[in-house]
Amino acid sequence: MKNIRKIGVFTSGGDSPGMNAAIRSVVRTCAYLKVDCIGIYRGYQGMIEGDFKPMDARSVNNIIQKGGTILKSARCQEFRTKEGRQKAYDNLVREGIDAFVVIGGDGSFTGAMIFNQEFDFPVIGIPGTIDNDIFGTTYTLGFDTALNTVVEAIDKIRDTASSHNRLFFVEVMGRDVGHIALNAGVGAGAEEILIPEENLGRERLLESLKRSKESGKSSSIVIVAEGDKTGKNIFDLKDFVEEKLPDYDVRVSVLGHMQRGGSPSCYDRVLASRMGVKAVESLLEGKTNLMVGIQDNAIILTPINKAIKGHTKIDKELIRVSDIMSI
Ligand code: ADP
């Protein structure tokens, strides 16, 4: 078993709120356990360029509440090549780094797994993505914050929707999965929620909107996940509904990248703190190639290859709850 004295930490791929809280936790756990910690800037790109900075407990003052990532994030094509990974490895060895903690999504974990196989280099992953689409954890870092951001935005949209008796289609992030749409939709009281996992069909949507109007609702909100296939896209859906239900005044709002930003929720800060401690302790115990996750409020470890290959399932019960609520 390799003796671990210096741990690298970086954020990679799509950013999410809570990444800073996770960096802080990794750095402080290292300080607590008297292990050196090195921040690697811009993910695998910074690893290849040797963009390193020693971090101590005071380097991460005042960041727990900040969105984004102080270490920056990047996508790096060169790391997909053997030559690129060799350069990264040489830099880590030169710096004396014995292991790393990668905070990112499944792409970043795939890179870490390949790196581990090639160089027998110890790696542990912390899932940071707002999409909540990683197997082996009930919550990814940033998901809860993104839900709060979306719910707050939809509450505001509803104010104006109900003042004008309008129907709003609101697009939220989720190209492959509808976790944000479903949870925020129930939380914001949406009349319909359209997700990639289920295609209700356009006719059912019309029926539902008609029923809504007949039951006396003064406004309607339909949440559409980016990857939903009910229409070609959200604007196509708007045109279709306007054509079929001409007495509806329809508007579209695409929330976009605001969903990735903002101060992390308390839940995400606590989760990040717990995951960072577990990541460092696991490396020091000689564990590798694992992802930290949370299940039944316990911090657990899952083999990285399972986390990458496994699929998260949409909560069918929540779909049922949403149907009942939108009567
Ligand atoms: P995320 O981690 O959010 O899923 P990406 O899919 O963009 O984001 O992956 C982040 C980075 O991880 C990529 O830019 C690349 O450097 C690295 N990576 C992803 N897939 C691989 C792979 N198959 N081999 C090596 N590196 C990879």
**Is 1 a residue whose pLDDT tops 70?**
no
Which whole number is the average pLDDT over 94-123? 98
From the CB of 111, is ligand 1 less than 6 Å away?
A: yes
Helices and strands (H and E) in the chain: how many: 11, 11
The pLDDT of residue 163 is 86
The pLDDT of residue 164 is 86
Token digits of residue 168: 């709003």
**Is 73 a residue whose pLDDT tops 70?**
yes
Q: How many whole angstroms separate alpha carbon 148 and alpha carbon 96?
A: 41
Q: Which range among 86-100, 161-175, 203-217 shows the weakest confidence by mean pLDDT?
A: 203-217
From the CB of 274, is ligand 1 less than 6 Å away?
A: no
**Is 155 a residue whose pLDDT tops 90?**
yes
The pLDDT of residue 86 is 98
Residue of minimum CA distance from atom 7 in ligand 1: 13
**Is 218 a residue whose pLDDT tops 80?**
no
From the CB of 14, is ligand 1 less than 6 Å away?
A: yes
b/e code 223-256 from CB counts within 10 Å (16+ = b): bbbbbbebbeebeebbebbeeeeeebebebbebe
Q: What amino acid positions are annotated as catalytic residues?
A: 131
From the CB of 78, is ligand 1 less than 6 Å away?
A: no
| Average pLDDT taken over every residue of the chain | 95
Measured in Å, residue 143 CA sits from the centre of ligand 1 at 20
Residue of minimum CA distance from atom 18 in ligand 1: 111
Q: Give this prediction's pTM.
A: 0.96
Residue given tokens 């014995």 in the structure block: 98
**Is 225 a residue whose pLDDT tops 90?**
yes
Q: Which of 47, 108, 117 to mutate to test the pocket of ligand 1 (most atoms within 8 A of CB)?
A: 108
Which whole number is the average pLDDT over 264-275? 98
pLDDT in tens, 7-16: 999 999 999 9
Query: How far is CA 253 from its chain centroid?
Result: 21
Cα separations (Å) of 76 from 108, 111, 232, 296? 10, 10, 31, 35
Which whole number is the average pLDDT over 268-285? 98
The pLDDT of residue 145 is 98
Measured in Å, residue 275 CA sits from the centre of ligand 1 at 21
Domains and CATH numbers, the chain: 6-142+264-309 (3.40.50.450), 144-260 (3.40.50.460)
